[in-house]
Amino acid sequence: MIRAATTSDVPEIRAMIRELAAYERAAEQARATEEQLHEALFGEHPAASVLIAQDEDTGEAVGYALWFPRFSTWTGTRGMHLEDLYVRPHARGAGHGRALLAALAAICRSKGYERFEWWVLAWNEPTIAFYKSLGVELLDEWTVCRLSGEPLEHLAAEAPAVVDRLPAS
């Protein structure tokens, strides 16, 4: 069963985020608190949405998908960015990941989104094979860029004064 997350799911979502980070060999980077997730998912201006894969027999949350809208200047339309897709190891192979992706594809279709995009680690061959079985196009010509920490602070210090007059988001 796939369902929208509720506020009572936040502790379980956080637990699965930490499990995903450990699987991706980056456990120390999963620092989000329950309070931050609650605000990001259910606050006045939600930043993202979550679907939960729930075992129909036990009621256990066995996976989740966290996504948010994005915008393409090329198509002039919104799309979907999948930030996290995770199914707990003991529940893999039962169709939960495919069901989560199918639910997200249906959301894309219902909202008129033309693109549904996400990243996958290059070493994660089982997941890449799964995605390929769905017909996913791998965009090898693109490289993800990230600016954080001290380099972000240094570049921000160079910002022109106009930044102070931008609307808050």
Element (H, E) at 117: strand 116-118
Give the CA distances from residue 1 to residues 55, 57, 61, 80, in Å, rounded to whole numbers and listed in that order.
6, 10, 10, 21
* 64 in active site: no
* Contact residues for 65 (Cβ-Cβ < 8 A; gap 6+): 50, 51, 53, 82, 84, 85, 86, 100, 101, 103, 104
Burial class (CB in 10 A: 0-12, 13-18, 19+), 69: middle
Residue among 64, 86, 113, 131 flagged as catalytic: 131
CA-based end-to-end distance of the chain: 34
Instruction: Report yes or no: 5 and 51 within 8 Å, Cβ to Cβ.
Output: yes
DSSP H helices in the chain: 10-23, 34-42, 96-111, 125-133, 149-156
**Catalytic positions:** 131
